[in-house]
A and B are shown apart, each in its own frame.
Chain A
């Protein structure tokens, strides 16, 4: 705010802001841009059982999409895997958005007292006091063939025999993801909702809008930034996941993360790098589309 001394440099640009930004820029350059470039470069390399061969080859990309132009025998591995991952991603996104929005709406508009609201909000975060892996694995004894849920169902006579679809299935994977990631939607949506001017809701009511119309024309448009941010979290996390899908899906459900992990473990780094580049491209595309729909920066 104070008047700065006139800049004496010939370029005529102040140097202080550049210096202030330099540490972050350097960190990002070193730990984000550089590894990303390295991944892209390695994806063009060749490899053998025991070594990486610096080269410019399209082998990794060609092998990745091998047989993908031929649909007579169904989808090729890569398309099949992406489809499987995208499908899970879509289901998880829909469910977490629904739950996240519902919980945030309840907290923001139905709880009158700030104290109660904050207390309930903290309750939502309580599961995060344990590790990600434990929250996921604790489902196993519940959902197993001889698990608590099946014992209950069989015991009460609701079903004749244990239900296999409860575990190592799409259901269990989605359940675990929803459990893990709903909060990532709840928080930004809640944040957006708390910033909505309450007079707008009153105005809507005075103008004769029903509850549904208020939600549709006032609340949802104003919480879009929160929804988009939450969606980005969920989509990025699910697209890259291989642990949750592996454990809850009994390793039987394909995911891109798993493919990359297998390739890494066989020292096929270039092939894994190529997969990573394609995955990154796809996720960036999804995010680009979402941010095109809503200008987050303007909305924030």
Chain B
């Protein structure tokens, strides 16, 4: 999956250059015709394929502005005028919404609003409540009014974000090096893997992976792993510091490629990881499993938000684009990458039955599963790690989060790195 993404970015740059040239050549024509939407987000969802399809179907030009997830927050908080569509993660909302820079999106203008996955509207999967520790989307999906700076406890007409992608994260392992079944988050801190483990050096996410391990080891039961008390932060960081001093960790990783390289080069055999990174390791012919664990998953979700300053034709175009995004093509595109899309019913219609069975139902692939660019991602007969949508998303226990004690946590994390 890594390859198509890289190719996508390259095309994206070419596309951007082409767009700039076109804009220079014929400004008058474009000023009257197509609307251009400046789309700020991490590069995860910014595919050239989607951009091209949007231009064909809607005549809207997307101007991708890929930034790091830190910069997504920074942009939304400090420069809301520099974007028309914000592709943000739900945890960021705890920082962005109080700034008052995002508008509540009008549910009546979203055609498929009732079809959006129950993960977002009710906090359920297949009728069963899922874990809501951390910044679960259900807690931050709605606002009491269009111009509110707070979240509404229940469903309202005003949405903070319209979901695009979400997924359940777990540990990646090298089954060939580990040589035995791995079933628990506690294995991350198991001295058996001394010098061969890694976690990610993004404090707010790293500490939750650590908390999953601490809880699995039976050392503490957290009320909310995504919103710890100071004492809980101290405890978690103490356990991590002990492990670090004992040489448990080979390295910490900060970005996608680092995690791929650590795993592929054999520096680590067990580490926190993201789904596409596991695929990237596997695409090099190196065995790597996105291991389902009995304690469950840490999940994340992303969606589109609109800055409050948006109005007129641009606002209409933004709604048009979001409605298009939910209508199936984009959902299928994202589902085929191993993410989950917001409106599954329409995505299913845009996917082949065997694709749906593999990605969503957890069934063995009836034929080779291919990436959007045609390369084979999974051979016929293989099964997705973790199984079906219901099994994976149903086993979510916590969500990427911003804690109330975030400042304190960041200081403690720096202390841990210095230890």
Contact = CB atoms under 8 A, between A and B. Distances in A.
Given A145-B266, A251-B201, A251-B252, A49 B94 contact: yes
A119 to B, nearest CB: 37
B265 A146 contact: yes
Nearest to A47: B407
Nearest to B413: A262
Given A80-B419, A140-B261, A252-B244, A51 B201 contact: no
Interface in B394-408: 402, 406-407
A141 B266 CA distance: 11
A3 B153 CA distance: 83
B66 to A, nearest CB: 16
A214 interface: no
Interface residues of A, number: 34
Contacts of B253: 251
Contact of A77 (B95, B99, B261, B418): B418
A262 B418 CA distance: 13
Interface string B236-276: 00000000100001111110000001000111000000000
Contact of A252 (B77, B95, B249, B414): B249
Nearest to A80: B418
B97 to A, nearest CB: 8
B417 interface: yes
B30 interface: no
B77 A259 contact: no
A49 B95 contact: yes
B74 interface: yes
B98 A267 contact: no
A252 B96 contact: no
Interface residues of B, number: 35
A49 B252 contact: no
A76 to B, nearest CB: 8
Given A141-B265, A164-B195, A77 B411 contact: yes
Interface in A230-263: 246, 249-254, 258-259, 262-263
A81 B77 CA distance: 30
Nearest to A48: B98
Interface string B53-81: 00000000000000010100110010000
Interface in A123-171: 140-141, 144-147, 164, 167-168
A44 B266 CA distance: 46
A104 to B, nearest CB: 35
Contacts of B418: 77, 80-81, 84, 254, 259
Given A250-B251, A251-B254, A252-B249, A50 B415 contact: no
B244 A263 contact: no
B23 to A, nearest CB: 30
A288 B407 CA distance: 35
A177 to B, nearest CB: 18
B216 interface: no
A266 interface: yes
A17 B244 CA distance: 60
A4 interface: no
A144 B203 contact: no
Q: Which of A147, A258, A262 has the most CB of B within 10 A?
A: A262
B96 A50 contact: yes
B387 to A, nearest CB: 32
Contacts of B252: 250-252
B361 to A, nearest CB: 38
Contact of B95 (A145, A249, A267): A267
Contact of B99 (A50, A66, A147, A262): A50
Nearest to A258: B417
A265 interface: yes
A250 B99 CA distance: 35
Interface in A76-93: 77, 80-81, 84
B413 A51 contact: no
Contacts of B99: 50-51
B410 A263 contact: yes
Nearest to B412: A77
Q: Which of A50, A168, A262, A263 has the most CB of B within 10 A?
A: A50
Contacts of A81: 414, 418
A96 interface: no
A264 B251 CA distance: 22
A202 interface: no
Contacts of B407: 266, 268
A85 to B, nearest CB: 10
A299 interface: no
Q: Which of A51, A140, A252, A259 has the most CB of B within 10 A?
A: A252
A145 B265 contact: yes
A74 B267 CA distance: 31
18 contacts: A50-B98, A51-B77, A51-B99, A81-B418, A141-B265, A144-B266, A144-B267, A145-B265, A145-B266, A164-B195, A167-B267, A250-B250, A251-B252, A251-B254, A251-B417, A253-B417, A266-B70, A266-B407
Interface of A: 49-51, 63, 66, 77, 80-81, 84, 140-141, 144-147, 164, 167-168, 246, 249-254, 258-259, 262-268
Given A50-B98, A250-B252, A262-B413, 8 more contacts: A49-B406, A144-B266, A164-B195, A251-B253, A262-B414, A265-B70, A266-B203, A268-B410
Ranked 6 nearest A-B pairs via Cβ: A250-B251, A254-B418, A251-B252, A265-B70, A77-B415, A251-B201
